[in-house]
Amino acid sequence: MVRERDIRKIERTIISKMKMIENGNLSLKDSKIGMFFNALKDVDEVSYEQLIQKYKRLTSKLNGNK
């Protein structure tokens, strides 16, 4: 069983990486954010869905599709 604390740590890591990507400090590829999304999906589907939507908006914005 995964502790709530560990779930929140994964969420914070994802959010931090998304901010770094948005600011241009980190590339999508170098962020390895997918590992964290996969880990989160296994333990907290609701949080995963919320964060993946934000991530999709971010990538769309970065790719100029918005």
pLDDT average, residue stretch 40-55: 96
The model's pLDDT over 19-31, given as tens digits with 9 standing for 90+, comes to 999 999 999 899 9
| Rounded distance between C-alpha atoms, residue 54 and residue 48, angstroms | 10
Q: Please tell me the distance from the alpha carbon of residue 34 to that of residue 9, in angstroms, as a whole number.
A: 15
Q: Delimit the domains of the chain by residue range.
A: 4-62
User: What whole-number distance in Å separates Cα of residue 46 and Cα of residue 59?
Assistant: 20
**Is the model's pLDDT at 42 over the cut of 90?**
yes
pLDDT above 70: residue 1: yes
Question: Which one, of 56, 62, 46, lies nearest residue 11 by Cα?
Answer: 46
Structure pTM? 0.90
